[in-house]
Amino acid sequence: MSDTDNLINNIVAKVASKYYVRESTRPSLNKFQMIRDLSNFKLLRSYIISTNGLACTVLFTSYTVESYQQRAFPFIPRIDESLYVYAILGCRKDFGRISVRPKTLLDKINSFLAQKKNNLLTENKFNSSFETEVENVEKAKLFFKKDLVNLLMLHNKIIIEIVGREILIRSGLKSASEEDLIALLKLVFDLALLIEKNEQF
């Protein structure tokens, strides 16, 4: 058994003491641009994790990240293929196609130069912290309710992509650990509760 398999087994065993966990069939991920943009992406394992009537699919993945050491010449790339974790949450409503990620300095400069306006009526603080792209503004407004926006603002490294009724979520750029997965699950289930509440109105 590889070191990666052992790491996944250890993380899952610890999470299983708090949640119901079962291995799942591998979901189709080609619809998500976030996944298609990754180099040498591999879906290693997937699990259904549930609690109190809420459930999500957790993905253990790896992909190639290249970086270069500073002050090194010639520039030799460092290849990182760490273990990363994502979650998929299913919804009843179709939110269209939405992407949310932390705003970079380049995003802020481009927004200023283009005088880009946000039509989603989200908080100014949210707009200054996150770069948001939507395919259908009216559908997206069903997602960006105030309580949900407030939750997202508590997680300034969150990355989300929504395609129709499925939400792909990553809580940050750290490699997988028990703490990272527990934090991701708390975020996902908090999000699920708010979406479920908003879907009733």
Number of domains in the chain: 1
Spell out the per-residue pLDDT of the chain, length 201, in tens: 788 899 999 999 999 999 999 999 999 999 999 999 888 889 999 999 999 999 999 999 988 766 555 555 555 555 566 889 999 999 999 999 999 998 877 766 666 666 655 556 566 778 788 888 999 989 998 899 989 999 998 888 889 999 999 999 998 767 788 888 999 999 999 999 999 888 765
* pLDDT number for residue 64: 77
Task: Give 129-133's long-range contacts (Cβ < 8 A, gap of 24+).
Answer: 129/102, 129/103, 129/153, 129/156, 130/100, 130/101, 130/102, 130/103, 131/99, 131/100, 131/101, 131/102, 131/103, 131/104, 131/107, 132/98, 132/99, 132/100, 133/98, 133/99
Rounded CA separation 112/6 (Å): 47
Domain of residue 92, residue span? 3-199
pLDDT single digits (tens) 75-112: 555 556 688 999 999 999 999 999 999 887 776 666 66
